[in-house]
Structure 1
Amino acid sequence: MAGLASPETSSAARLAELLRASRYEVIPLAGVEEQVLEHVPRDVTLTVTASPTKGLDVTLDHAERFAAQGYAVVPHLSARLVRDRSHLAEVVQRMDAMGVRDVFVVAGDAERPAGEFAGAAALLAALDELGHPFADIGITGYPESHPTIDDETTIAAMFEKSRFATYIASQICFDPSLTVRWVDAVWARGTRLPILVGLPGVVPRAKLVRVSARIGIGESARFLRKNAGFVGRFLKPGGFSPDPLIRGLEPALRDPERKIAGFHIFTFNDVADTERWRRRRLARA
């Protein structure tokens, strides 16, 4: 997978590689384009989420505008928002026109599928029938139990999806030791794909509450519902910092097999503070 970190030379150098290989998840809401253009350098990859209320067109509209400004973009392709194979072909054609080479395939949070694709596995198979049009395809991993699906099902689903994928991006987990064990377990079970570990960005308390209330659903908000006690544990007057999670991940970051290939950073659109934090960490490294 292009852009992932190379073998470690030291802990600091390894962390620097992973920070450079990180990608920022942004939510297609008003004002995010201006924030990205002002604060995020063009060498940072942007992933653009998909909303069941706004549909895929809003995701693709934002991805097109970011791509036109020189960013590498990774649209989230929500299976439950794709009506049929004809619609999928149209979406793929639109992504190809904007130069997309990497797509993140998720089931999505719509209560009812818009058409024939109830989950990510079926959509991945349909993409394969279209000639595997993307160089990289990401799938979701869950270090903690999925809020609505039992662990046996998520494990089986990962095996089913992994044959079509080139990497895994994990959901946020506030127990780094659990994330380390999960990363090892994924590879031990035979799914040997590079893993982008999900981390929250630097999010002020008020902004976190406001954005989570606005979106109310979706992957970026799910961890808030699952970790109701995290506010007191991780948020300080200046907001959340990913540093404690990164320190806890250090055993996996030093792993010679390089299972962790970068970070998938959930910015909640607070890209300015998140990018300042990343630059500080790079300078220290």
Structure 2
Amino acid sequence: MVRLLEQARYEVLPTATTEDKVLQHLPRDRAITVTASPSKGLAATLDLSESLAGHGYVVVPHLAARMISGRTELAEIAERLVGKGITSVFVPGGDAEAVGDYPDALALLEDLQVLGRPFTHVGITGYPESHPSIHDDLTVQSMWDKRRHATHIVSNLTFDPAGVRDWLRRLRARGVTMPVLLGMPGPVERTKLLGMATKIGVGESTKFLAKNKGLFARLAAPGGFTGESFLEKCAPALGEEGAFVEGLHVFTFNQVAETEAWRTQLLEDLRS
């Protein structure tokens, strides 16, 4: 648990107040990922990523495939980000309708290969909990298909330690050996989460709810979910030989101060 918390990175949303929150509450050694919002456009992601990189943070912008028109725009984005010292990206398919040549993440990843692999680290999405519209076997197959173009897997939100264990075993049995960053929520206020879902561009609230079945029920139930208990229950599976889980991907929903306070306090408790 200590190792995972030390290697935690934070996902933030490109809103008007995000930069100030990060500067005020996060040390420069925290890695920050910036989501891509269909409602705000990719420009908001790129602008915030460049600003945070300029302040010295390790920044990982989300390059949602369906929001990029094709190889020409992708080359321009890559040149822009690399020019700012950004060497890591995360490539999901994205919630938007495709605006051009990329119907899915694999198509964009193949073009990054053609462009000479401009980024040192490339993350792809994993689904420990079932995707609402894609069969589990297909999500595992997708990671196999992408393995030549990516360096690690970032799991979607999950709340089921047993599911994490089974998913990791299925990945490794399929021969997908990339390191995994385990996705989990930070200490998000229950009443704030639904409102944030409609504003942050994760998708319309119905899509967000569909992708995270049971999320709100589990968070709202007394004692239903805490980060501490989740990690404690996951720890045996994460420590299994060949699990290759190298850190946490924490969904902050822009509650940056609360998330960092939670992480540092839990680390202090574990070390004492």
- Bin for the TM-score computed over the shorter chain: over 0.9
Q: Is the counterpart of residue 30 in structure 1 residue 16 in structure 2?
A: yes
Q: Match of 1:61, as an amino acid?
A: D
Please report how far the alpha carbon of residue 240 of structure 1 lies from its aligned counterpart in structure 2 after TM superposition.
6.2
- The answer to whether the 8 Å contact 2:194/2:205 transfers is no
Aligned residue pair count: 270
| Residues 64 and 216 of structure 1: CA distance in aligned 2, closer, same or farther (over 3 Å) | closer
Q: Is the counterpart of residue 70 in structure 1 residue 56 in structure 2?
A: yes
TM-score by length of 1: 0.88
User: Secondary structure, in 3 states, of the residue corresponding to 2:63?
Assistant: strand
Q: Match of 1:30, as an amino acid?
A: A
- Which among 97, 100, 103 is matched to residue 83 of structure 2? 97
State the match for 2:69 in structure 1. 83
Q: Match of 1:72, as an amino acid?
A: V
Please report how far the alpha carbon of residue 236 of structure 1 lies from its aligned counterpart in structure 2 after TM superposition.
6.5
Please report how far the alpha carbon of residue 205 of structure 1 lies from its aligned counterpart in structure 2 after TM superposition.
1.7
Please report how far the alpha carbon of residue 222 of structure 1 lies from its aligned counterpart in structure 2 after TM superposition.
5.5
Q: Is the counterpart of residue 199 in structure 1 residue 187 in structure 2?
A: no
| Residues 250 and 238 of structure 1: CA distance in aligned 2, closer, same or farther (over 3 Å) | closer
Q: Match of 1:95, as an amino acid?
A: L
User: Secondary structure, in 3 states, of the residue corresponding to 1:155?
Assistant: helix
Q: Is the counterpart of residue 280 in structure 1 residue 269 in structure 2?
A: no
Please report how far the alpha carbon of residue 33 of structure 1 lies from its aligned counterpart in structure 2 after TM superposition.
1.1
TM-score by length of 2: 0.92
- Which among 50, 71, 81 is matched to residue 36 of structure 2? 50
Q: CA RMSD in A?
A: 2.2
Q: Which moved more, 1:83-92 or 1:48-57?
A: 48-57
Please report how far the alpha carbon of residue 226 of structure 1 lies from its aligned counterpart in structure 2 after TM superposition.
4.4
Structure 2 residue runs of 5 or longer lacking an equivalent are none
Structure 1 residue runs of 5 or longer lacking an equivalent are 1-14
Q: Which moved more, 1:205-214 or 1:164-173?
A: 205-214
Q: Is the counterpart of residue 142 in structure 1 residue 127 in structure 2?
A: yes
- The answer to whether the 8 Å contact 1:201/1:265 transfers is yes
Q: Is the counterpart of residue 151 in structure 1 residue 136 in structure 2?
A: yes
TM-superposition CA deviations, 1:164-214 (whole Å, max 9, x none): 111000011211111111012101110001100100011012221221132
Tell me, in whole angstroms, the C-alpha distance in 1 between the residues paired with 2:205 and 2:46.
18
State the match for 1:3 in structure 2. none
Please report how far the alpha carbon of residue 119 of structure 1 lies from its aligned counterpart in structure 2 after TM superposition.
0.6
Tell me, in whole angstroms, the C-alpha distance in 2 between the residues paired with 1:218 and 1:167.
24
State the match for 1:60 in structure 2. 46
Instruction: Report percent identity of matched pairs.
Output: 47
Q: Match of 1:195, as an amino acid?
A: V
Q: Match of 1:93, as an amino acid?
A: E
- The answer to whether the 8 Å contact 1:108/1:218 transfers is no
Tell me, in whole angstroms, the C-alpha distance in 1 between the residues paired with 2:267 and 2:206.
28
| Residues 151 and 284 of structure 1: CA distance in aligned 2, closer, same or farther (over 3 Å) | same
Tell me, in whole angstroms, the C-alpha distance in 2 between the residues paired with 1:217 and 1:250.
28
User: Secondary structure, in 3 states, of the residue corresponding to 2:159?
Assistant: coil
Tell me, in whole angstroms, the C-alpha distance in 1 between the residues paired with 2:69 and 2:201.
24
